[in-house]
Amino acid sequence: MSNNEKTEKILIYIGNTVRRELRLTDNPILHHISELLSKNRTPFTHLLPIYVFPARQIEISGFLSPNTNTSDGAVSDTAIASLPKPPSEVESPYPPARSVVGQFHRCGPHRARFWAESVWDFKSSLETVGSGLAIRVGRIDDILEYVLDYFKSGKGNSASVRCEVVGVWITAEEGVAEKTDERNVFRVAGMKGVNVRTWKDEKFLVDDRDLTYMTPKEIPDTFSEFKKAVGPLRDAPRKPLPPPDMLPPLPTRVPPQPNPFIVPNSLEGWVYGLLKPLEEDPMAMVTPPYSIGARSQHTYHGGEAYALEHLRNIIGSGRITAFKDPRRGIIGEDCGTKLAAWLALGCVTARQVHEYLLDFEGGKTRLGQYAKGYGEGENKGTAGIRLELLWRDYLRLCSRKYGCKLFRLEGFKGEIDRQWKHADDIDIKQQVQRFMGGNTGNPIIDAILREMYLTGYTSYRGRDVVAKYFSKQLGIDWRIGAEWFEYCLVDYDVSEFWGNWQYCAGVGNDPSWEVPPVKIGEVPEMYVKQWASDDSI
């Protein structure tokens, strides 16, 4: 190395870490890096955050190209939009991102757009503190191996710069696919002689380190037991971490997107590429009609900035005081916080929400000062929001306890106590297709299904009613229904969705739990008329 040559010591922040931590605030890794930087103690000079749209969870064939990659891994939107349908010889190295039982796309258009918006917002936020984000498609281990080889081969070097990767940091997450990704990151990094450090996932309400359970087996099988063990919920969460003041810069040269894919350089390009395969799918041709007068309850934009804006709005307006248990609310009623989609992607954390609630209850800030309940301590609404956040924590821990059983027909319960119907029977297949299109003949069920498909959202009470109808009244393999929800809904969260479907289907770890039947007058007539009407646009 010449006297004038500088060494860029690069820390890679990839995969599991950023997939559901799309925020600057309350981000343990970024907070730690910022603290080291402020004390001039970083063992690295550059930071390379990499976000990978995972090929097994979202369809990425819209980015296939017969062309070679560009120097920076990104192309213009015009280039993306003008791509012809890839010729047959340009094949994806990955199978289609489809569900196991129903073979639906795993991510539908509403969530794909929201996901892209959230990633792009995170990229913009990182740029404000001196960093950036390399957005890629593929498998996390494949991208990591390509990046490590790129720097090891000297492609990242220049006449005056030599690059050296000094570590890879990831966050440990729950979920079978997430644990597989984590193992693969360790495998690839180990092969290349690079150390990996895992971090605790801290986006939930109660920190795992503050729970009394030492092993997954100790996690209670009922939510009431879990809630009792946590203790006074208002005192349980830790304080959220502040956003970083500054982060190390990106390396001089950033490895491009590996072939046979190209990636865009704008949000519009990402949305186009993610939606393209969905629009070409035959499923898009059976869309139920959008009824005249129907309005979406979820018209929000993905990203940390939008999550915090929404959180401030519901506090400032006093809506948090009026919060009702969404599983005991009225179908079609706007009674929830609508934070779930942002929580699922880590655009905001549960303990951030809790901190905002504390400020409102204690009158510590001016936000919500004219709203009912301001400065009067905890009320039914704010307590209910905390309880809903704790429910998310509990289902995540159930995923840890039961692992692959989350996706099995017998569920956490571990036994098949009824004769499930399957879609390999032609009559059942047609029944499933009518269900997907919101044409079951049951006006309430059809209204809920159409709202969900067309907008990416429906009330939690409505979801439970549909899940019970599909699994118990129709008696069809409940996993098909869960997979359809995964496709349709913008706020999909693996532990919450699959865990909740198990409860509704009676195969969860608390089989005594039942979805309350729909009462007379519970569903507003206008709601059914809006979504299940024959008067369509």
* Token representation of residue 190: 């180990």
* Residues 173, 14: Cα–Cα separation, whole Å: 13
**Cβ atoms < 10 Å from Cβ of 210:** 11
Catalogue the long-range contacts made by 403-406 (C-beta closer than 8 Å, 24 or more residues apart): 403/176, 404/176, 406/176, 406/494, 406/495, 406/498, 406/499, 406/502
| Nearest Cα to Cα of residue 499 among 415, 419, 413 | 413
Task: Tell me if 394 is assigned to a ligand binding site.
Answer: no
Question: Which residues, 6+ apart, have CB-to-CB distance to 235 below 8 Å?
Answer: none
Residue carrying the six token digits 């796309």: 105
User: What residues does 9 pair with on adjacent strands?
Assistant: 164
Length of the chain: 537
Q: Is 493 annotated as ligand-binding?
A: yes
Element (H, E) at 151: helix 140-152
- Crossing angle of the two packed helices 140-152 and 176-191, in degrees rounded to 10: 20
Nearest residue to 341 (alpha-carbon basis) of 107, 31, 504: 107
Distance CA 443, CA 445 (A): 6
363-373 in b/e burial notation, b at 16+ Cβ within 10 A? eeeebbeebeb
Q: HEC profile for 268-312?
A: HHHHHHHHHHHHCCHHHHHCCCCECCCCCCCCCCCCHHHHHHHHH
Query: What six digits make up the tokens of 29?
Result: 């890794």
The 3 state secondary structure assigned to 13-69 is EECHHHHCCCCCCCCHHHHHHHHHHHCCCCCCCEEEEEEEEECCCCCCHHHECCCCC
φ, ψ (nearest 5 deg) of residue 350: -65, -35
Helices (H) and strands (E) in the chain, counts: 18, 7
End-to-end alpha-carbon separation of the chain, Å? Answer: 69
Q: Is 491 annotated as a binding residue?
A: yes
Amino acid code (one letter) for 182? E
CA distances from 303 to 22, 121, 244, 307, 368 (A): 7, 5, 17, 6, 23
Under 8 Å between Cβ of 264 and 80: yes
Identify the CA nearest to 301 among candidates 494, 115, 57, 77.
Answer: 115
Question: What does the DSSP 8-state code read for residue 472?
Answer: I
- As annotated, the binding site for FAD includes 491-493
- As annotated, the binding site includes 491-493
